[in-house]
Amino acid sequence: MTDPGLNDPDVNGTALRALLDRALADEPPIGPVAQNALLAGVRRRRRRRTSAIVAGAAIVAAVSVIVPALARAHRTTPAPVTPGGIPTVYVANGSFAGAGWVTPISTVTNTAGPPIRAGGDNASMAATPNGKTLYVVNEASDVVIPISTATNKAGPPIKVARFPFAIVITPDGKIAYVLSEGARLTPIMTATNQAGTPITIDPGPAGPDVAASPAITPDGKTLYVSPDVQSDVLIPVDIATGKAGKPIRLGGAAPTAIIITPDGRTAYVVNEAAQGTVTPIDVAANTPGPPIKVGKYPVDIAITPDSKTAYVVNGNSGTVTPISTATNTAGPPIKVGLSPYNVVITPDGATAYVLNNGSGTVTPISTATNTAGPPIKVGLGPSDIVITPDGATAYVLNNGSGTVTPISTATNTAGPPIKVGGNVRAIVITP
């Protein structure tokens, strides 16, 4: 697959400059040049990231990453259907010029199939639990595109509230919730792909921007959402009634990431970077516990499948802090690479993988000993990661090089990068 060219008459110099300025707006650079900007590690900005991810010549790097995605994507035939039971990786590419597409990658051959045209500014994606449908959020056009994974064909766009940026799906797969700026939550019935009336979460006086992607409890009863990037509350939404509950106060810290333990007992909220804390919330009572002190500029969190340990990425200190969920106490920080950005844990809970955006590496951490292994070199500006259901392979999205790097979890070695092109923004894997 080749990137679309830049000879589109609709994209002149002025328009290109405007698009570039918009893509760079509000997006602090990351890496060794500007580690103090790692508040950009909130999940919304990870999904929207289109700017510099390379140390050194930041402007040149940003242009090289963004420009290919500004032209129009070409139409192609759908990728061959993957045999049932074999996972497929999907990568979203997007631009404000309407040149967005989704690239399927076979986990058997590690090769990319023909791109699926899927609108423009693809901010995020989610797959239904059965893996049959992929939902792609188009931020600039205010729609969600459903894609059948059986045929790799896109269905009619679903209109949602303005400026959508995040999506979560209930554990039973029946409802997809799309979060838009202005704290509006649009439910989509996956059986019909019809959108319901948006639920408005009171944004308060701070403004319309929303910080963290929402999270749903494993029993599918409650959705937690941050109402505003400057708000110090978390809002529980009753999924059965669609009603927002009483705000949960977080003590002056705005949420930047939300995760719930697999046993459904506790929600952990990563507080804004300057706070350097994580707040545990008792899901049954919707009451917060004392904030847990972690490292500088925490930006992401993952929890082991047994619900016993949470791992918090501290972007500005190059560390990961383990938290015992039984006692809500933090252990000694684990040193990883430069500007760590994201963390995931293998299905067996044995290894946590941490993306180091500034050094272009992935650090494996043994959860049994909380020790880091040698860094694994991947592509430029790694920004997201998924792991196959059998835990055999991790796939790393490299924002800076438009590639996906497969990693064998048995040997912690990287395979050849898979070229997907354009401005890569999100990655998911179907069951």
Using one digit for the tens of pLDDT, what is the confidence trace for 70-117? 222 222 223 334 445 789 999 998 765 556 899 999 999 999 999 998
Which pLDDT value is given to residue 280?
96
pLDDT surpasses 50 at 206: no
Which pLDDT value is given to residue 73?
28
The sign of the torsion formed by the CA atoms of 303, 305, 309, 311 equals negative
Which pLDDT value is given to residue 203?
54
Amino acid identity of residue 289, one-letter, is G
Half-sphere exposure of 418 (CA within 13 A, CB side): 27
Which pLDDT value is given to residue 219?
97
Q: Say which residue, 344 or 96, is predicted with more confidence.
A: 344
Whole-angstrom distance, CA of residue 272 vs CA of residue 252 = 9
Q: How does pLDDT run across 42-83, given as a tens digit for each residue?
A: 333 333 332 222 222 222 223 222 222 222 222 222 333 444
Q: How many helices (H) and strands (E) does the chain have?
A: 3, 39
Token output for 83: 């045999």
Do residues 183 and 198 touch, judged by C-beta distance below 8 A? no
Do residues 134 and 112 touch, judged by C-beta distance below 8 A? no
Q: How confident is the model at residue 121 (pLDDT cuts 50, 70, 90)?
A: confident
Which pLDDT value is given to residue 256?
83
CA nearest neighbour of 341 among 277, 303, 269, 398: 398
Q: Where are the alpha helices (DSSP H) in 54-132?
A: 58-66
Ranked by mean pLDDT, which of 29-33, 53-57, 150-154 comes out on top? 150-154
Q: How does pLDDT run across 315-333, given as a tens digit for each residue?
A: 989 999 999 999 999 999 9
**Taking the C-alpha atoms of 81, 84, 85 and 87 in order, what is their torsion angle to the nearest 10 degrees?**
10
CA nearest neighbour of 261 among 312, 323, 321, 304: 304
Q: How confident is the model at residue 230 (pLDDT cuts 50, 70, 90)?
A: low
